[in-house]
Every structure is written in structure tokens, then in C-alpha cells.
A and B are shown apart, each in its own frame.
Chain A
Amino acid sequence: MLEVKSLSVSYGAVAALMNVSVHVAEGEFVSLIGSNGAGKTTLLNSIMNIIGHSKGTVTFKGKEITKLNTPKIVKGGMAIVPEGRRIFSNMTVKENLEMGGFTRPAHEVKEKLEQMYDMFPVLGERHDQTAGMLSGGEQQMLAIGRALMTSPKMLLMDEPSMGLAPLVIKEVYEKLKLLASTGLTILLVEQNATMALKYAQRGYVLENGRIILQGKASELLGDNEVKRAYLGKEYKEKWER
């Protein structure tokens, strides 16, 4: 469904991604893990063309989307839950969701709103509240809901666990699992390796802008190279949270 071929991105003289190739099949749940500054967010943002890239191609559903602008990519069926959630904090929960449905016809938005409230009851309870008032976990749910409002075929997730309590992280992942079971294709990038690999079918490990490992998620979970990529040493407890 998504195919990224030898993508390179640099910020000025600093190369952030070098020759990164990733593919995700339809209906798959793929996690891409890597430590701070490995280039995970850069990868997602350049897939969505939020930032430009210098080399490589991105193909989505058989069509090249390398040069399309972000709104067009969204219309094409790919959605992103951006890093740090980036909800519209001065707008209400309902308005946030409506913005997600911006490209969809009004009756579909209405229908989808109900679906979102069913899926995330807390959003329904607080639909009139300013989104900035929500807790971190609720904001994450809202960000996911907003992305789902675009009726995506594929969802890109950027660090859903960022700044959340372990219990809330689990809740978020359970929702993702549920979404994956409905046939949504998911590409997730995450620092929290254990969590991300536990729920995914396949995984990639990104280090310093390069893919250094890939394979079945369950195999990567026990891989020593993964630990090394994170810590250089086996500080097991620290990353196994």
C-alpha cells in the first residue's frame, strides 16, 4: 500500500535520513522504532510532504505522491497523527473533529462524528469543551479521532506514547489494535520499542537516519541489536517500560 524508496532528507548540511526504504502492505500494522533523533518524525513528515525531501520516491496505493502537497495526500486517503498531537487547542473537541472531516461531505461528517463518540466515549462527553483543557491521553484520542475523520485508508502515527502514563499508553494501543482489526493500515513510529513491537506485525529499526534492522515484530522484540541501537549497552530496565 505504501512504498518509500531510498528517501533522503537533510536539514541544511545535516543529513536526517539516508536512503531509507520502507514498505507497508494493505491491512498491515508496522512499527518503526528508533531512539531520540533517529529520524522517525522526519520520515513521517516527509511522507506527508510536510517537509520536503531531497531524494527518493513515495508511492501510495500505486500512485506516486512524492510531489503532492499535504492536503492532496490527505484527500488521497492517508492521515497522520502528528508528533505532540497538535490538536487545535483553542477550538472545541467537536470542532476539532469537524476539521478532520474538512474534505468530506457534511452528511459523512455527521455520521463519522457519531462513530468517533462511540469509539472514544470521553470525546462525546466533552464535545463542547475547549480541546486545550483535555488531559494528555484525551488529547491523543482526539488527535486520533481527528485523523480518522478524514476517512483514511492508512494511518501514520507519530509517538502516540509521548508524555502519557503507562495505563493510558495501553489504552491508546488497544484502540489502535481495534482499528487495525477493521482493516486500517497503520505505520507507527515510536521510541517506546516494547509497546510498539508488541502490537505490530512487522518492525523496522531506525538509527541515525538509516534502517539497520527489519523483520517480524516478535523477533525484533528479543533482538540484542535493537537494545544496542537504543542504548549502546544493555540497560534493559530503562527501555523496557
Chain B
Amino acid sequence: MQFLYSGLTSGSIYGLVALGFNIIYNTTGIINFAQGEFVMFGGMLIYTFFTIFHVPFAIALPVTVLGSFIIGALFERIFVNFCKYKTEINLFTITLAASIILRDVAMHAWGRDSVKVDDYIPIANLKMPGGVISSQSVLIIIVSLLVAWGLNLFLKRSKYGKAMRACFDDQTAAETCGISVRNVRIIAFGVASFMAGVAGVLISPITFVTYDDGIMIGLKGFCAAILGGMGNFWAAVAGGLMLGIFESFSASIIPSGYKDAMAFFVILLILFVKPDGLFGKKRAHRV
């Protein structure tokens, strides 16, 4: 049971990152390899405001997530927008390059050492059937689910959320409705970065933040997105949770040094056996 709890904790984080991958993939058709860097920036921002400058958490948190949104939007403006031929392979390469740039920026700004963010809530261990779960873990799981649920509402109810889904279906048709695909793309990057920012804020008190944290968390989130199936938001959350649980259980059977490799083992397995992901449904296409 203990493994389940720790798996759920890291799984919710993967889920959030996977959601970010999904949003950008759905609206632009590309995989944003800088997604992990967005997580790292979220952690670094909260570290700067909350731990260094001692800004009250109630202010530091909104500033951080808003900052994350702006970072995402700027990222689209600076890196994606200036790409002259927006083919998928070009954009992939650009996000990959951008992720390295962001990492270096973070290294210069915050240094090479891991930084520790103060805890947001008092640490306590709650007794659960078959093990204990820390209050931080509970916070992570609840907030992640809330954010995922909020995103779902945003996409289903709000005007811009629907416009994002329209762009996912058919960008040309969306333009003929008067929807500016450019604006939707900016919002998509902003929202994806926002989700990553939340993830970054949530994990940094537990895992510390280092400038190159983004690589691993980004790749794991990507695995989670593939595991669940691209194009389906709840699948991304489920994929994240399953990946987290799988990871922590695997640590109980095989040496924990292989833990990080498990995610990639999973992605290979999925790609071999069920390339659409576990819950990926084929999009309705008229032939």
C-alpha cells in the first residue's frame, strides 16, 4: 500500500505535465519538449518569491502561476511564432532547442545547486490502511485533480476552451468561424505552462529544484501522455497516475536504481503493443 501512495503522489505530478503536453499537442499538433522546463520554472519562481523574498504564500502562489502562464505565452511568441515554416519537425526541433536555452537561463539565474522551497503546510503523516501518507502528498493529489477538473471545465464551458477544441478538430474551419488560431495557440502554451507551473510549485518542497530538473520530469510526463493516449484529457491524468504507481511498485521488485528507466520501458511497451495509448480513441474522421 505504501507504494501505492507514493505512486499516486508522483503520478499526479506526471498527470499535470501530461496534460500540458496534451493541450499543446491538441491545438498545434506538436510535442513541446520544453514542458519539463516550465515545471522547473514554476519551482524556481515559487522559490524566489516564497523562500528568498518571503512573500506570503497567498500572494506568491498566484504570482508564480500567472508568471508561468506568461512564460508559456512568451515562449510561443518568441520561439514558435518566428519559425517560418511551421512543419512539425521544425517545431519539434525548436522546442528542443528552446528547452536547452531555458535550462541555461535557469542555471545562470539560480545557480547549479538544488534549492529547497519551504513547506506550505505543516508536515504530518496520516495513517492510512497499509501505510502512511504525508500531508504534502495529500495536497499534491488533491490540487492536481482539482486543476485537471478545472481544465476540463475550461475546455467544455468557456468560449476560449471551446475554441481550443475547435482548433484541435480543424484549424482552417476554426479560422472561417473568426477564431484567431494564433491567439488560441498563445493561450494553449500559456495554459500548458500554467499546469506545469502548478506541478512545479507542488513538488519543489519535496524534491528540491535544480536547473536541469526539467529533463526528467518532462520526459516522464511525455511517457504518461503517451501511456494514456494523446488527445484525451482524462487519459492523460490516468496515464500519469498509472505511470507513478507502476514506477513505485517496480522499485519494490527490482533495484530502485532502475526506477527512472521504468517509465521508458512503459513507453516502449505501449508503442509496440497499443500505439494509441491505453485510452486513446481514434478521432472521428469522415473519409
Which A residues are closer than 8 A to B by beta carbons?
A: 48, 50, 69-71, 74-75, 79-80, 82, 84, 86-91, 95, 98-100, 102-103, 130, 132-133, 139, 146-147, 149-150
Contacts and interface: CB of A to CB of B under 8 A. Distances in A.
B177 A90 contact: no
A96 to B, nearest CB: 8
A102 B285 contact: no
A74 to B, nearest CB: 4
A100 B163 CA distance: 10
A79 B176 contact: yes
Contacts of B283: 89-90
A146 B177 contact: yes
Contacts of A75: 178
Interface of B: 159, 162-163, 165-166, 168-170, 172-180, 283-286
B284 A89 contact: yes
Contact of A71 (B162, B170, B175): B175
Identify the interface centre among A90, A133, A146, A149: most chain B CB within 10 Å of its CB: A90
A50 B172 contact: yes
A79 to B, nearest CB: 7
Contacts of B285: 89
A186 to B, nearest CB: 16
A114 to B, nearest CB: 19
B178 A150 contact: yes
Contacts of A86: 170, 172-173, 176
Nearest 9 A/B pairs, CB to CB: A132-B284, A103-B178, A74-B178, A88-B169, A86-B173, A70-B175, A89-B284, A71-B178, A99-B177
A130 B284 CA distance: 10
B169 A89 contact: yes
A102 B159 contact: yes
A84 B165 CA distance: 19
A77 to B, nearest CB: 11
A87 B173 CA distance: 7
- Of B169, B174, B175, B177, most buried by chain A (CB within 10 Å of CB) is B177
Nearest to A80: B176
A84 B170 CA distance: 12
Given A82-B172, A102-B159, A132-B286, A88 B180 contact: no
Given A50-B172, A99-B162, A99-B163, A90 B284 contact: yes
A116 B169 CA distance: 22
Given A89-B285, A89-B286, A90-B284, A95 B179 contact: no
A139 B176 CA distance: 16
Contacts of A149: 177
Contacts of B177: 74, 99-100, 102-103, 146, 149-150
Contact of A70 (B159, B163, B176): B176
By CB atoms of chain A within 10 A, which of B159, B173, B180 has the most?
B173
Nearest to B285: A89
6 contacts: A69-B180, A70-B175, A74-B175, A86-B170, A90-B169, A91-B165
A145 B47 CA distance: 51
A50 B175 CA distance: 8
Contact of A88 (B159, B170, B175): B170
A102 B162 CA distance: 10
Nearest to A48: B176
B174 A99 contact: yes
Contacts of A87: 170, 173
B179 A71 contact: yes
B173 A82 contact: yes
Contacts of B159: 98, 102
A168 B284 CA distance: 23
B175 A95 contact: no
A71 B168 CA distance: 17
Given A75-B178, A90-B283, A102 B173 contact: no
Given A79-B176, A82-B176, A90 B165 contact: yes
